[in-house]
A = this chain, B = another copy of it.
Amino acid sequence: MSNNKNIPYRINLPEELIPRQWYNIRADMKELPDPMLNPGTHEELKEEELYPIFCKALSHQEMDNKTRYIDIPESVIEFYKMCRPSPLIRAYCLEKELGTPAKIYYKFEGNNTSGSHKLNSAIPQVYYAKEEGIDGLTTETGAGQWGTALSMACAYYKMPLTVYMVKTSYNQKPYRKSIIETCGANIIPSPSETTNVGRAILEKFPGTGGSLGCAISEAVEAAVTATNSRYVLGSVLNQVLLHQSIVGLESKAAMEMYDEYPDIIIGCAGGGSNLGGLIAPFMKDKLEGKRNPYFIAVEPASCPSMTRGKYAYDFCDTGKVTPLAKMYTLGCGFQPSSNHAGGLRYHGMSPILSKLYYDGLLDEARAVEQTKVFESAVNFARCEGILPAPESSHAICVAVDEAIKCKESGEEKTILFGLTGTGYFDMSAYESFLNNTMSDYIPSDEDLQKAFEELPKIN
């Protein structure tokens, strides 16, 4: 079945090859992302201004554009050993099913209870907070992957955690709630009576199901008003991309063991944590002129921040309480439709990835429709034996398209994509696909234009 008998189905790097340092791509970018701005003064944000929100070590990592390699704390490495190195899998069965000459690899991050790559950043974020003597953390979660990963990390470090979960998801996904509670975290449906912003929204919209923007606002308020508490976030931020670089570093090391190098690298992109981490060390090669892999970001057609958004300063949340970041955005007031890939329903995009895309280094962004994504997901589950998360399935979908192009052209390209997680908590989405009740939604130009009008007026 294999077209190269020497390459195993699953490349498991030995434990001693877990990277000891994260890679900070900002140190190698010729042009840096534009700095974050204070939302009140529009002045460049100083590191100290982040201290009430994030702990100091993370605030520093957020602002550190210079240090190329940053040591992973020993305690974090110890935890990583429970689920890392994650396997790099050669998709022999998928290749055979497609009849493609392409070699397809995927880095699988779903083999931990949280079921996704989110754990890679959750662990260091909780570790640093613990080190600095922080007494509790707050966060928000939409689809629930981040909330689950963070609750696992907090269980491990015995750190109290409050998760504000978008009320609609809280009601629709009771098992996400259960798993977060199993890890010992406190979970509150948002909007709630526990914060000023929550109470104000409930008074104005008594029956609302909430939104990610509102949950962020509540989590931030809860952190900054409590004694010695901090807020943590699972994507978008520079610090998160830094931690996620472990995904790319391991992928590169595993491929090098077999003299392989990807021609095409594909990742789904919501806030950018997975794609940014996966491509980081390969982008380094490109920036240094050593190699020229082709990078593709895949986003849902229902929330097309890179393919149809503007590159502009915007708030990171809907409640407009965060600093401003220069990024591809649909406007923080954009309301994405109910796409089942909850992890990709974000109005903006990591400032690092936005800059790389703007500069033509991240080669392409491609928007795909939901039903096509689930078609790929079901085929993948049937032949590769892994039930993919809807988010990850965006990458599968484009990897399959590229492999079919290779079949047509006869090119033996090497494709690498990120399989960020499993879909065990997304079975209702699979069900609606199988029952033909899933619909595709693409926002109209008018919808987008209306959201763009709310962008802050800067530059």
Copies of this chain per assembly:
2
**A29 beta carbon closer than 8 Å to chain B:** no
In this complex, the member of A10, A16, A179, A182 whose beta carbon has the largest number of chain B beta carbons within 10 angstroms is A182
CB distance A113 to B9 under 8 Å?
no
A422 neighbours in B (Cβ, 8 Å): 113
**Which one, B79, B81, B181, B387, contacts A179 given CB within 8 A?**
B387
Residue interface bits A81-118, CB-to-B below 8 A is 1, else 0:
11100000100010000000000000000011101000
Please give me the residue from chain B that is nearest to A425 by CB atom.
Answer: B424
Judged by a CB distance under 8 angstroms, whether A360 is at the interface is: no
Q: CA–CA, A423 to B123, complex, Å? A: 22
Cβ B430 vs Cβ A113 within 8 A: no
Q: State in angstroms the CA–CA spacing of A81 and B91 once bound together.
A: 11
A151 to B83, CA, bound (A): 27
A160 to B179, CA, bound (A): 34
Is the C-beta of A288 less than 8 angstroms from some C-beta in chain B?
A: no
Interface check A8, CB cutoff 8 A: yes
Are B178 and A82 in touch, CB under 8 angstroms?
no
Q: How far is the CA of A434 from the CA of B152 in the complex (A)?
A: 16
Enumerate chain B residues within 8 angstroms of A119, measured Cβ to Cβ.
385
Complex contacts, A182 vs chain B, CB 8 Å: 378, 381-382, 387, 427, 430, 434
Chain B residues whose CB sits within 8 angstroms of the CB of A428 once the complex forms: 175, 178
**Is A14 positioned at the interface, with any CB of B under 8 Å from its CB?**
yes
Within 8 A of B (CB), among A215-229: none
Say yes or no: B178 contacts A434, CB within 8 Å: yes
How far is the CB of A431 from the nearest CB of chain B, in Å? 4
In the bound complex, residues from chain B placing their C-beta under 8 Å from that of A430 are 178-179, 182
Contacting pair A8 B1 (CB below 8 A) = no
Residues 384-429 of A contacting B (Cβ, < 8 Å):
384-387, 422, 424-425, 427-428
Given the contacts A9-B81, A10-B81, A81-B8, A183 and B427 also touching, CB distance less than 8 Å: no
> Hey, which bits of chain A sit against chain B, CB under 8 A?
1, 8-10, 12, 14-16, 78-79, 81-83, 89, 93, 111-113, 115, 119, 152, 155-156, 174-175, 178-179, 181-184, 378, 381-387, 422, 424-425, 427-428, 430-431, 434
Other contacts beyond A82-B89, A152-B382: 10, CB < 8 A: A8-B81, A10-B81, A12-B12, A12-B14, A113-B381, A113-B386, A152-B385, A178-B434, A182-B381, A183-B381
